[in-house]
Structure 1
Amino acid sequence: MRIEISVESIAGVRVAARAGADRVELCAGLSDGGLTPSVALIEHAAAVDIPVHVLIRPRPGGFHYAPEEIAVMVGDIAAARAAGAAGIVVGALDSSGALDPACAAFVDAAEGVDVTLHRAIDVSASSQRALDQAIAFGFTRVLTSGRRRAVLDGAPLIKDLVRQGFGAIEVMACGGVRAANATQVIDATGVADLHAAVRRPVPGAAHGAVSFAGVGVPQGFDRFETDPDEVAALCAVVCDRNQLPTK
């Protein structure tokens, strides 16, 4: 079992590394669903002793991109790799809801590092068809909640995708993965990879409750940061699971 933590700061990278996570997904703007981080942030994250997989997403919203946006994404992949990224997280859909042929250019630009198809698969016309396309394009893995908001609700589809992709592509489960449900998620889906974005509000100078992109921040707080206690607990569950004897 492997665990990936989604983070948007150097502090988050260090939290994941200390807890024993296998890798981080580095993003900016997690409150917007995640956006491409700066090259400087990638460089500093890559200096921490944990593999850094960089999200490439040029804007919030859907995954159907104009040619100019595709060109930006290809350039960002090359820049992320040059800055020390160990992997890339990316995806695009065409107007029919299938994976966009531009995904081939994304994989090519990654030049051999791991490439994860993000949750575009969950809003594609067919997750099964998108998985076959991801295999053909050369993706290393896909990230999915089984087309549902909560991972356990999507567990039946995730399990089907694990079977479909066995030996050809890795399937990583996400969608509210926490220490309290990790074992249940593993048993229900059969995945070998879990992904979690575990954050908590951080005290700041904000006066009164504010909201960013529909995400309420409690009064007296002004942002979210990676939760070290929850990351440690989740990594401990996965570590314990890895030490169980195989049947």
Structure 2
Amino acid sequence: MPLPSTLHCAVVGNPIAHSRSPEIHHAFAKQFGLRVDYQRMLADPNDFADHVRAFFAQGGKGLNITVPFKETAFALATHHSPSAQLAGAANTLWLENGQLHACNTDGIGLVNDLTRLGFAPANQRILLIGAGGAAKGVLLPLLEAGAAHIRVINRSSLKAHALVEHIALHQPNYAARLDAGDLDTTNGVWDIIINATSSSLDQKNPLNQPIECSQHSLAYDMMYGAEPSIFMKDCVTYGATQCADGLGMLVGQAAQSFFIWHGLQPDTEPVLHDLRQRL
């Protein structure tokens, strides 16, 4: 009986050496006995499109895209998922009927991780900090998952309002569940507080003052590391009953990309546990 053919996948970015995607996707493939060769690909802005075209011309199955190429990847594709359309950015590319398709799986990765943690977004009041690419990628999936209300706050309130208005324009049925403001606009009681900024890389908390958390509340930082971030620690003092970093989101978005490419839904728990042990 012939061995199954090898499926070629990769992640493209700059820098790229730090990416955990190969070990995650190889672990997923092992669950199903798939022969997946998943590589890191370093590109620069001048040759990114050439890398993408060459990869698929040589029979590549799927590409993940990381910084700084998510917007460029979106522009290269001819078909876009709703989440990619809203974000104007893509982290997952594949060919279908000869056409390049793009998706942004960050949102479903976050939703699935929140659910794993016991905080499924349905009926939750969510404070989303940040209005950049990370926030754009998760806002629509959070609404689709049934969030009761989401407030987007950002250092530039204009940017936060622009994101909310964009949603309201293209998805008017969600408009009543959204509002926006600057980093001081935190009045209210919050069930889930999500840091979608990169502030934790600088060991900073993006919030300017304490916030009011509900009796069952989660502080979630999209960044991840061996130790809790300043944001997570501060939110516990504000009253958050649980905190988590974004490692589960990383594994979750990878699982959704894996499903898009291979039609198989991997078990994220053992992969997440293994990564956590090696941070």
Shorter-chain TM-score range: 0.3 to 0.5
Bigger radius of gyration among the two? 2
If asked which structure has higher relative contact order (CA below 8 Å, sep 6+), I would say: 1
TM-score (norm 2): 0.34
